[in-house]
Amino acid sequence: MFELHHLTAREQWDWLDRGEITPLELVDHYLDRIERLDGGLGAFVTVTAERARERARALGAAPDRRLALWGLPFGDKDLSARAGVRTTYGSRLFAEFVPDASDELVEVLDGAGAVSLGKTNAPEFGLPSYTESLVAPPARNPYDTATGAGGSSGGAAVAVAAGLLPFAPGSDGGGSVRIPAAATGLVGLKPTRGLVPSGTGLDKLAGLVVPGPLARTVGDAALLLDVMIGEEPPPFSVRAPRWDGGALSNAAVRGEGRFHVGLTTTSPWDAGYDITVSAEASAALAEAVSHLDAVGHGVEEFALDESDAYAGAFRTIWQAGAAGIPADGADLDQLEPLTRWLVERGRGVGARELGGALATLSAFERSIIRQFRRFDAVLTPALALPPRPIGWYPQTDPELNFAQQVQYTPFTSFVNVSGLPAIVLPVSVTAEGVPMGVQLIGRPGGEDVLLSIGAQLERRILWQRRHPPQW
């Protein structure tokens, strides 16, 4: 039986534009699904049903169909502040916090006519690559609820994959959009550093964190990304390169071009950790290569230059980034063990050590861009392993916890360090029916190439027709 969530976000907007449904009808449809299904999934931390209905009524009463997201539902990641709405940052320390002002990205999406249905689940301060906090139930993979959805945008991914939202914004500081997208069978895109004005990354330590879209289709991801980018340049002197083809949605819709694609299964973590690419990840990579060959792209295998210093420098930045968490004295006891370890380690990092780590990662960025220069895009596994069981990460052994995160996600953080765009594409499923994706990394400002290749593979594989049992 047909239901509204079976439509893509673009198709839903078309229905709204033609008056076949109203914003309130669409919002009610998704709120009903959240009420019925989310108890076993953990996609949302807070649902703002009446607030969403009130906004949908207002949008329907004064239609402005020039707005790119007019009437489309979404969810704010619980690391983004929305004025008047409980925002926990995934932590017991902020379990009842209600901000007075909204973050810029929230205002951008509101300004485009979208309707927030609440706050999607995230781990404590977005630090881990899994979404299992002490302030909310874990975000469970809809394809296998015994496994996790990844993180830190785990709740957003669960909501989109299970049909509780048409698409959702996430944020990505080490893979936090791409990891959950790969685990739950979605398209997830991390933009070039400096591209999205409301989250350039330029004001973050080492320039790691940027917002990005999660969606079921390449076109929907491009639609949301275009709104995030907007038309005005950001108030920075440095800006990411832009292609000259107008909206990125144009590249996603056309899906044109033949490109030179590099292929690597090496990572900068290889020197310091035991990294194994699973049979499932290798099978997904082989499937992607087969389709790329069929489309006419040239694929060339290569290995990254060895980097003995990367692991230590990234650890230092990860720890230093937690130092500013507002917890002192008794408040430290409210933090989860991993977060407290990071805070305490981070506050012990001296200026000399921090400066050295930043210099190392800056040199690594230049090295990666030089190594990738001869390719239009570089293909890697999205994850080294299939989705991990809930509770797999030890909570009382931070070193082992960190090592396991690296072993699960060795191909994502170095893209943040280098500031490059990357897209995860859900090309495959395991024998058990769990999604496995691949990652394509672009040149600076090369989102158009990633979306074009993604659209070509989507037309061949038709991953948008795969759905979990809750669908």
Structure letter (DSSP) for residue 273: S
The closest of 471, 457, 387, 459 to 429, measured between CA atoms, is 387
Q: Residue holding tokens 């917002």?
A: 211
Strands across the sheet containing 44-47 = 44-47, 115-120, 73-77
Which residues, in sequence order, are bridge partners of residue 127?
A: none
Q: How far apart are CA 255 and CA 291, in angstroms?
A: 14
Give the separation between CA 104 and CA 124, rounded to whole angstroms: 21
Q: Are 215 and 165 in contact (CB under 8 A)?
A: no
Strands of 377-381's sheet, edge to edge? 167-172, 210-215, 187-190, 422-429, 435-442, 377-381, 260-263, 298-301
Q: Answer yes or no: are the C-beta atoms of 12 and 72 closer than 8 Å.
A: yes
Active site residues: 77, 152, 176
State the DSSP code for 202: T
Secondary structure element (H or E) that encloses residue 356, with its range: helix 351-372
Strand 435-442 relative to strand 115-120: parallel, antiparallel, unpaired? unpaired
Residue corresponding to tokens 């420098």 = 313
